[in-house]
A and B are shown apart, each in its own frame.
Chain A
């Protein structure tokens, strides 16, 4: 999770624009927009109540009444995937907002000023890398409690270091560039240099890392709810549906298939968009 951020961004920032890359972006956007429409339909006109139980519809296969079939509680899988997609989007947005906001501040300051703070921060970064993420998740959960907002906050905090790292790298580069030196000579304040001069110049890198952030947030949310942390039942979440469906794999493969495909589409969409943006 932490690795690919770093590599991809470094990689992407060097790319030149070409038609092919735009194709990536367009394909990615189409997928993401499709998923958003899918989610909106669920919010406005969900075919069934996603939590309504019906013991007579238990494991009903795919039919006109239930397009994706029903789960072990007789709940409509289509409605649940829609609602679950919404939950995933919610967590992903929150996570990326917290992660970028604080990541920019920390990265900008350390990259620009360097020195001891920078050194300490990099060590903390290393330590977090070696820290088992399950323990980190449990720690957050016992401090904050389980639930959607808590998981968003926990993931947001966990994402700060990787964003900070990317921003820091950009600032290290920019620090020695002519336009920054000139601005300094002209007596611009550090605050102004950081936020008005350098920051806007890093937008491609930022944008694509935000997209990768979405990508990773979707994955992280799914993993967390797969482990039972995050969205609490009976409210649907894609990861949890997948983990509940595992035991019925032989009986009802459709139960695992649809939430799985929804997760893959979301990740695919965001990663294609990230590829595209970096190349404009």
Chain B
């Protein structure tokens, strides 16, 4: 309980710091919502009056305080560019990004666990070696390039999906998942290859420990030792990695959303940053950070459940 409270407090502090940073950043970068929404029709008088209307002339901390109080009351404000409530604007897009991250996560699991186990069980066989080499090369492909490659291969050559032909989830849920599979694949690929590598080395390390040798000498079968002892212990660091990956997938989808034209949180974030539309940016950042921090907390708890040697109170 003490742990949960402590985690919660640090979470709140982190969110306050992030939002404050964002606010200050918005004040430092050139341009503001008034100039941005008036565009080439701006006159000094109209800029000034719109700034007053939006409250952009107040000191940063006053603006921040006003935002924070409204936010705690459940009011995310009105988008400066779209002029619509931020909440309705964003809530539509949360499922999009979450689904993409979840599909990517599942893909990563189904790819990395079997491959990781296979290669570690057949260490130094020719299949293992070739998998490791391919794995290493796949790991070196930057996400924006793998996006291009996937579009080219599955979209243009194999025609499995229409690049850019995003289908909304409230229109056709199967079409939606079918489309999201491919951007998810682009996100999953680098993470899965990293996971394979980690899992393999973690298993190999564990397999060289004394207790494993003892278990074998007691006459246990290879598979039994492997799955009951080695794998169970070797999974621990990998689980932390999986947790962190999930957070990374949620937070880092901007480029992939761009390449695959997915109207998710990342793209709204990107356009809102360039429109200097801070109510939207702030709301998205808070949502993403809360998700990220919650997942981190869950990973910590899961960790201690799986390994009784570790108590979360120590951390």
Q: A and B touching (C-beta < 8 Å)?
A: yes
- Minimum distance in angstroms from A136 CB to a CB of chain B: 8
Contacts of B140 in A (CB 8 A): 264-265, 267-268, 271
Q: Which residues, 87 to 143 on A, are CB-close (under 8 Å) to B?
A: 123-124, 126-127, 129-132, 134-136, 138-139, 142-143
Q: Let me know if A219 and B21 touch, CB within 8 A.
A: no
Quick one: CB contact mask for B272-294 with A, threshold 8 Å, 1 for yes? 01000000010001001100110
Contacts of A272 in B (CB 8 A): 136
Q: Let me know if A131 and B18 touch, CB within 8 A.
A: yes
Quick one: CB contact mask for A234-272 with B, threshold 8 Å, 1 for yes? 000001001100100110010010001001110110011
Asked, given contacts A222-B142, A267-B142, whether A130 binds B288 with beta carbons under 8 Å apart, the answer is: yes
- Minimum distance in angstroms from A28 CB to a CB of chain B: 10
The stretch that binds A, out of B24-32, B102-110, B169-177, is B24-32
Which of B137, B152, B255 is the one whose CB lies under 8 Å from A249?
A: B152
Q: Let me know if A223 and B255 touch, CB within 8 A.
A: yes
Which size bracket describes the interface of B in this complex?
35 or more
The stretch that binds A, out of B47-55, B180-188, B244-252, B304-312, is B244-252
Which of A10, A127, A219 is the one whose CB lies under 8 Å from B18?
A: A127
Contacts of A242 in B (CB 8 A): 144-145, 148
Quick one: CB contact mask for B232-271 with A, threshold 8 Å, 1 for yes? 0000010011001100100100110000000000000110
- Is B205 interfacial (CB 8 A cutoff)? yes
Asked, given contacts A11-B198, A139-B29, A142-B28, whether A223 binds B139 with beta carbons under 8 Å apart, the answer is: no
Q: Let me know if B18 and A264 touch, CB within 8 A.
A: no
- Is A15 interfacial (CB 8 A cutoff)? yes
Which of B30, B245, B281 is the one whose CB lies under 8 Å from A3?
A: B245
Contacts of A142 in B (CB 8 A): 28-30
Contacts of B292 in A (CB 8 A): 129-130
Asked, given contacts A130-B285, A135-B22, A138-B273, whether A263 binds B145 with beta carbons under 8 Å apart, the answer is: yes
Q: Let me know if A15 and B201 touch, CB within 8 A.
A: yes
Contacts of A263 in B (CB 8 A): 142, 145
Q: Let me know if B148 and A134 touch, CB within 8 A.
A: no
Contacts of A123 in B (CB 8 A): 10, 13-14, 17
CB nearest neighbor in A for B129: A20
Contacts of A129 in B (CB 8 A): 292
Asked, given contacts A226-B144, A264-B137, A264-B145, whether A127 binds B273 with beta carbons under 8 Å apart, the answer is: no
- Is A17 interfacial (CB 8 A cutoff)? no
Residue of A136, A249, A264 contacting most chain B CB atoms (<10 Å): A264
Number of contacting residues on A, CB 8 A? 43
Q: Let me know if B17 and A127 touch, CB within 8 A.
A: yes
Q: Let me know if B201 and A134 touch, CB within 8 A.
A: no
Which of B13, B28, B273 is the one whose CB lies under 8 Å from A143?
A: B28
CB nearest neighbor in B for A219: B142
- Minimum distance in angstroms from B172 CB to a CB of chain A: 28
Q: Let me know if B255 and A130 touch, CB within 8 A.
A: no
Q: Let me know if B137 and A124 touch, CB within 8 A.
A: no
Quick one: CB contact mask for A1-23 with B, threshold 8 Å, 1 for yes? 00110010011001100001000
**In the bound complex, how far is the Cα of B137 from the Cα of A264, in angstroms?**
8
Asked, given contacts A123-B17, A142-B28, whether A132 binds B245 with beta carbons under 8 Å apart, the answer is: no
**In the bound complex, how far is the Cα of B13 from the Cα of A200, in angstroms?**
36
- Minimum distance in angstroms from A160 CB to a CB of chain B: 15
**In the bound complex, how far is the Cα of B254 from the Cα of A226, in angstroms?**
13
- Is B84 interfacial (CB 8 A cutoff)? no
Q: Which residues, 194 to 250 on A, are CB-close (under 8 Å) to B?
A: 219, 222-223, 226, 239, 242-243, 246, 249-250
Contacts of A271 in B (CB 8 A): 136, 139-140
**In the bound complex, how far is the Cα of B181 from the Cα of A78, in angstroms?**
35
**In the bound complex, how far is the Cα of B190 from the Cα of A223, in angstroms?**
15
Asked, given contacts A7-B198, A272-B136, whether A132 binds B21 with beta carbons under 8 Å apart, the answer is: no
Contacts of B139 in A (CB 8 A): 268, 271
Contacts of B156 in A (CB 8 A): 249-250
**In the bound complex, how far is the Cα of B144 from the Cα of A14, in angstroms?**
32
Contacts of B288 in A (CB 8 A): 130
- Minimum distance in angstroms from B216 CB to a CB of chain A: 20
- Is B189 interfacial (CB 8 A cutoff)? no
- Is B141 interfacial (CB 8 A cutoff)? yes
Contacts of B152 in A (CB 8 A): 249, 253
**In the bound complex, how far is the Cα of B15 from the Cα of A123, in angstroms?**
10
**In the bound complex, how far is the Cα of B245 from the Cα of A132, in angstroms?**
16
* Subset of 8 A-B contacts with CB under 8 Å: A3-B245, A7-B240, A126-B14, A127-B21, A130-B14, A142-B28, A263-B142, A271-B136
> 7 nearest interchain CB pairs?
A268-B140, A130-B289, A267-B140, A142-B29, A127-B17, A139-B25, A127-B18
